[in-house]
């Protein structure tokens, strides 16, 4: 082994670890508002709003100009490239509005999937070309973290060793480049919920994927204390006939993380995938109540699960601004409580009822 060549100076490490900790401090989580133009098209179509740049700008404006108290629940917002340069109706840049609220600004950095030939429709992610220069520019513009989503799926012969290896490697390259430019990389190896597999199989796959991710991060000399993880929760496939409780999801999820994610990682911010707003909150709450040791913050990085009601309330009409902001604030506060294991589901019998559903000696 050659002598080591430090990838980062102590000052660079300090900056990265402080940014990461700020994002997940005190139960705060992330608003994933980085839907690409295409994905926003899907969202807007459901509420019969035309997918124009102005409409996208209007919706994001409503979210970002919500009352300042949002900064107690939201530590970071991930933006799409276009949104980084948009302004509110007074001409103020969105990114400055967020920063003034004390929220850390992040940017989606990947450039979508590319097929892996010779596999069962598996993919890797593009975006490494010129990434360093892009990161440097974003950093100048006030961005402090990046996000890159790799996708794996469970199916016949999937995820294959190649898909796991290749996506882990791309994530590690992206993370290394981010850190060189003062950006905290959010590492997102999403195992899709599509399929009819059960909870145990998802746990097994998630453990293999995360083990590969952390080996790759180590190989690429990534400073773990200056990263965040954005994984799927461990759940059964959408088409699985067996139903599981939030406590079972929580135990499987925390067990998988416990076996693969080093304690040096400051925070784990789950993606919501296809979960409803309420399920995403209930599951996060159960995760934070899980009796296993949890040395990292366990929080959220939700897109749909923070915005679905808000989108519904908005319906493209400026007059609905307050209702939209209220809907968003409500989910943000609920998830902040869940990230501290303090969410009380209105209508249920409270935290005590949920807590007792943990099967203490369940071995996974």
230 is catalytic: yes
Residue 10 CB, nearest approach to other proteins (Å): 3
Residue 301 CB, nearest approach to other proteins (Å): 21
> Is the CB of 81 or the CB of 258 nearer to other proteins?
258
Q: Which residues are CB-neighbours of 98 under 8 A, at least 6 positions away?
A: 64, 77, 105
Q: Which residues are CB-neighbours of 42 under 8 A, at least 6 positions away?
A: none
Cβ–Cβ under 8 Å, residues 256 and 248:
no
> Is the CB of 106 or the CB of 159 nearer to other proteins?
159
Q: Residue 238 has which token pair?
A: 């959408």
> Is the CB of 256 or the CB of 284 nearer to other proteins?
256
Q: Are strands 145-152 and 184-191 parallel, antiparallel or unpaired?
A: parallel
Residue 1 CB, nearest approach to other proteins (Å): 6
Q: Are strands 74-79 and 104-108 parallel, antiparallel or unpaired?
A: parallel
49 conformational bin, left if phi > 0, alpha if psi -120 to 50, beta if neither: beta
Which of the following is catalytic: 28, 147, 230, 297?
A: 230
Cβ–Cβ under 8 Å, residues 212 and 165:
yes
> Is the CB of 213 or the CB of 275 nearer to other proteins?
213
Secondary structure tally for the chain: helices H, strands E = 13, 10
Residue 45 CB, nearest approach to other proteins (Å): 35
330 is catalytic: no
> Is the CB of 3 or the CB of 48 nearer to other proteins?
3
Q: How far is CA 329 from CA 260, 301, 324, 345, in A?
A: 33, 15, 9, 16
Which of the following is catalytic: 188, 207, 277, 297?
A: 188
Q: How far is CA 37 from CA 51, 54, 230, 275, in A?
A: 8, 12, 22, 22
Q: Which residues are CB-neighbours of 292 under 8 A, at least 6 positions away?
A: 251, 254, 255, 258
- Residues at the site binding other proteins, with contacts judged by CB under 8 A: 1-4, 10, 13-14, 154, 157-161, 164, 200-201, 204-205, 207-208, 211-212, 214-215, 218-219, 224-225, 255, 258-264, 293-295, 361, 363
Active site residues: 188, 230
């Amino acid at each position: 082994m050659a002598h080591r060549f430090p990838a980062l100076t102590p000052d660079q490490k300090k900056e990265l670890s402080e940014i990461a900790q700020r994002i997940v401090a005190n139960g705060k989580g992330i608003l994933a508002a980085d839907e690409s133009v295409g994905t926003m098209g899907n969202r807007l179509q459901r509420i019969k709003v035309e997918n124009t740049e102005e409409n996208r700008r209007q919706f994001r404006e409503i979210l970002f100009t919500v009352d300042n108290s949002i900064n107690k629940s939201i530590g970071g917002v991930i933006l799409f490239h276009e949104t980084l340069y948009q302004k509110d109706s007074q001409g103020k840049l969105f990114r400055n509005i967020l920063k003034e609220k004390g929220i850390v600004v992040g940017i989606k950095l990947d450039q979508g999937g590319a097929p892996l030939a010779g596999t069962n429709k598996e993919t890797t992610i593009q975006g490494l070309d010129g990434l360093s220069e892009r990161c440097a520019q974003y950093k100048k513009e006030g961005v402090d973290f990046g996000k890159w989503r790799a996708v794996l799926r469970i199916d016949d012969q999937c995820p294959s060793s190649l898909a796991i290896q290749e996506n882990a490697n791309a994530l590690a390259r992206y993370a290394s480049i981010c850190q060189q430019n003062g950006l905290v990389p959010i590492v997102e190896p999403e195992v899709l919920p599509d399929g009819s597999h059960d909870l145990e199989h998802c746990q097994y796959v998630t453990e293999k994927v995360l083990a590969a991710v952390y080996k790759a991060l180590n190989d690429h000399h990534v400073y773990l204390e200056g990263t965040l993880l954005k994984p799927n929760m461990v759940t059964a496939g959408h088409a699985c006939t067996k139903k599981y409780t939030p406590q079972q999801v929580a135990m499987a999820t925390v067990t998988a993380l416990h076996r693969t994610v080093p304690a040096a990682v400051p925070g784990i911010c789950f993606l919501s995938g296809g979960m409803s707003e309420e399920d995403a909150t209930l599951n996060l709450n159960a995760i934070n109540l899980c009796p296993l040791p949890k040395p990292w913050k366990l929080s959220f990085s939700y897109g749909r699960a923070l915005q679905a009601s808000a989108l519904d309330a908005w319906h493209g009409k400026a007059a609905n601004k307050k209702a939209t902001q209220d809907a968003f604030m409500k989910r943000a506060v609920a998830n902040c409580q869940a990230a501290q294991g303090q969410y009380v589901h209105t209508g249920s019998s409270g935290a005590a009822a949920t807590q007792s559903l943990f099967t203490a000696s369940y071995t996974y």
